Amino acid sequence: MKLVTGNSNRALAEAVADYLELPLTDCTVKRFADKEIFVEIHENVRGEDVFILQSTSYPANDNLMELLILSDALRRSSARRITAVIPYYGYARQDRKSTPRTPISAKLVANLITEAGVNRVVTLDLHAAQIQGFFDIPTDNLYSAPVMVRDIRQHYDTDKLMIVSPDVGGVARARAIAQRIGADLAIVDKRRPRAGVSEVMNIIGDVSGQACILIDDIVDSGGTLVNAAEALLKAGAREVSAYITHGVLSNSAHERVAGSKLKELVITDSIAETDGVRSAPNIRRVSIAPLIGEAIARTASEQSVSSLFD
């Protein structure tokens, strides 16, 4: 098999390649003067099982186009099967018509990926599980829960923990981790008056004297996390940390987190690290490279991927 990557997250691709003991395929992904993307594969891929590792994170449109053009180049080079490994699936938050006359962009992106020649998709912690149904090709949605549970057990006393979902929509995700470590579950009842803005209304559950860990899939502006942490501390929590899969952390979000009352924010390396995130004293990263690498190996050898999470 072959492992190909664009420019979205080179560090993660190299870590996955090390896990698989497989060199990255030699290819060129560059820009012309007018910023058009050009791709050239420098190795023979005819009849190969090829995996493209590319997150569609910031700059989302550029990284998405790299993925599509890489797929087209491989298809025209007679690759036997093309699997798009997308640790962070951009546009996932636009998964329904939230108001009249708005797009379902997550479905549009799924169509583009399929039409570009991809035969299979592997992604991580989709914002909404039903997005798997937007693809007309096999799709595996991996879960970061095993990675998070392992890290929580290494850094916290699980007998004195309360797992918290920052909203009702994330209860299933938080409950899965709470059950794995034998902790109780609380829920933050919030409302979102407009996109990117959230207000905490109530805390469902007794968090008094507890060390709380917020669990979510995406942190973008950081407002939800910061507000939830403040509300939990006001409700009597002893300390508040957060484990988030995708650290989007756009604009000055890392500064908001650094200046908040969060003890620490733990994110995976599904999105390339920025200088701001690297410099924040209370942001820590854990690697999903072994998880992604094992999923790729099992896909290539036609073994079960879901058994990774049993």
Six token digits for residue 129: 């599980």
| 25 in a labelled binding site | no
Mean pLDDT of the chain: 94
| 210 in a labelled binding site | no
Q: What per-residue confidence (pLDDT) applies to 158? A: 86
Q: What per-residue confidence (pLDDT) applies to 131? A: 94
List, for residues 168-191, the tens digit of each pLDDT value.
Answer: 888 999 999 999 999 999 999 876
Least reliable range by pLDDT among 115-119, 152-156, 158-162, 207-211: 158-162
Determine the residue type at 262.
L
| 273 in a labelled binding site | no
Confidence of residue 159 (pLDDT cuts 50, 70, 90): confident
Q: What per-residue confidence (pLDDT) applies to 98? A: 84
| 167 in a labelled binding site | yes
Paired residues of 37 in beta bridges: 31
Domains belonging to the chain, first-starting first, are 2-143+290-309 (3.40.50.2020), 145-287 (3.40.50.2020)
The yes-or-no verdict on residue 113 having pLDDT over 70 is: yes
| 192 in a labelled binding site | yes
Confidence of residue 20 (pLDDT cuts 50, 70, 90): very high
| 36 in a labelled binding site | yes
| 259 in a labelled binding site | no
| 246 in a labelled binding site | no
The yes-or-no verdict on residue 149 having pLDDT over 90 is: yes
Q: List residues with catalytic annotation.
A: 190
List, for residues 186-237, the tens digit of each pLDDT value.
Answer: 999 876 656 555 566 689 999 999 999 999 999 998 988 999 999 999 999 9
Q: What is the mean pLDDT of residues 107-133?
A: 96
The yes-or-no verdict on residue 310 having pLDDT over 80 is: no
8 A C-beta contact, residue 277 and residue 283: yes
Rg (alpha carbons) of the chain, rounded to whole number: 20
